[in-house]
Amino acid sequence: MAKRGEFVWYELMTTDPEGAQKFYGDVVGWGTAPWENSTGMEYTMWTQGESMVGGVMELPEEARKGGAPPHWIGYVAVPDVDATAKKAKELGGKVFHGPEDIPEVGRFAVLADPQGAVFCAFKGLQDMADKDGQPQAGHVSWHELATTDHEAAFEFYSELFGWEKQQAMDMGDGFVYQMYGVGDTMLGGMYNKTEEQPGPPAWLYYTVVEDLDGAVGKVKKDGGRVIVEPMEVPGGSRVAVGLDPQGAAFGLHELVES
């Protein structure tokens, strides 16, 4: 089962769910399946083979009125959503929505850290699969936070989820990329945004693709934008960052062959 503090679900809130399904289906290779539920809610799940990797839905009116653009949001496993939401507020964060039950699925809350990056706390009614081993194509491999104070952000998440500091990379000129994880599971990294980076603090999720250059070509062909062209990162893997046609940011990750 998924450990406390692990990301277990990735949801795209967008102004064009149908268009997004075509875009990511081509770029990443995801399939889709409707969520069969008794609530009447329209929700589509992303599929990779037999696995469900996330979902896509219309950006809620509540979020639009608050000025939220199309975006991805990650769900983090916790043992108690209500206690997590309460603690987030005590640590200087915010509760934007919930805690609330998702019928037949579990309980969630939409939260923000003290710097403003948004995420969800989640507890499912059923155990979710553990993510040991190297991520496969179509699965999220890295969770990256661009923020205004990565040290303060780490302290918040460490208290909330039990995240631990792992390797830190000094990139020069005072730029530090701090990696973090749960036990021996590496989850991602966080760093301080530069003045040139637009937008508020935010999470970015990288999905594994087998052919990064091919995927980047499809992003451009299908109406998206590439804002970071393919580049090598420490360890030999390659990454790129893009915006889908509705403006949601996403990352792509080509793993080095082991």
Q: Is residue 2 part of a domain?
A: no
Mean pLDDT of 242-249: 97
Q: How would residue 197 be classed by pLDDT, with cut points 50, 70 and 90?
A: confident
The whole-angstrom distance between residue 187's C-alpha and the CA centroid of its chain comes to 11
pLDDT at 258: 58
Q: How many domains does the chain have?
A: 2
Distance, CA of 207 to CA of 13 (rounded, Å): 17
Query: CATH number, domain at 206?
Result: 3.10.180.10
Q: Would 28 be classed as within a structural domain?
A: yes
- Structure tokens belonging to residue 91: 């640590």
Give the pair of three-digit tokens for residue 44.
């589509």
> Does residue 178 fall inside a structural domain?
yes
Of 252, 204, 187, nearest to 73 by C-alpha is: 204
Q: Is 90 helix (H, G, I), strand (E, B) or coil?
A: helix
Residues 42 and 102 in one domain: yes
Confidence bin at 130 (pLDDT 50/70/90): low
Inform me whether the pLDDT recorded for 111 exceeds 80: yes
- Residue 168 and residue 67 share a domain: no
Q: Which residue has the tokens 């599929």?
A: 47
Residue 20: inside a domain: yes
The model's pLDDT over 220-244, given as tens digits with 9 standing for 90+, comes to: 999 999 999 999 998 889 999 999 9
Between 49 and 196, the more confident residue is: 49
At 234 the pLDDT is 84
Whether 1 has a pLDDT exceeding 70, the answer reads: no
> What does the pLDDT read at residue 57?
94
* pLDDT at res. 38: 62
Domain end residue (candidates: 99, 124, 149): 124
% of the chain residues with pLDDT over 70: 95
Tell me if 132 is assigned to some domain: no
| 243 inside domain | yes
Q: Which is nearest to 52 in space by CA: 35, 37, 40, 64?
A: 35
Q: What is the pLDDT of residues 31-73, one digit of tens each?
A: 999 987 766 677 899 999 989 999 999 998 888 887 889 999 9
Highest average pLDDT, of 7-16, 162-171, 176-185, comes from 7-16
| Domain co-membership, 157 together with 247 | yes
Q: Quick check: 99 and 109 in contact, CB under 8 A?
A: yes
Mean pLDDT score across all residues of the chain: 92
pLDDT range class, residue 175, cuts 50, 70, 90: confident
Same domain, 95 and 159: no
- Across 178-188, average pLDDT: 93
Which residues, 6+ apart, have CB-to-CB distance to 145 below 8 Å? 117, 153, 188, 189, 190, 191, 201, 202, 203, 204
* Domain-embedded: residue 33: yes
- 93 and 145 share a domain? no
pLDDT at position 160: 98
Domain span including residue 198: 140-254
Q: How far is CA 172 from the centre of its chain?
A: 27
Which pLDDT score, from 0 to 100, does residue 172 have? 73
Per-residue pLDDT at 129 exceeds 60: no
104 and 200 part of one domain: no
Note whether 145 and 89 are same-domain residues: no
Choosing from 96, 124, 152, the residue where a domain stops is: 124
Cβ burial of 250 (10 Å; 0-12, 13-18, 19+) is buried
Do 147 and 246 lie in one domain? The reply is yes
Least confidently predicted of 16-20, 151-155, 164-168, 254-258: 254-258
The answer as to whether 204 is a domain residue is yes
Q: Which of 238, 252, 231, 15 is nearest to 139 (CA)?
A: 252
* The model's pTM: 0.94
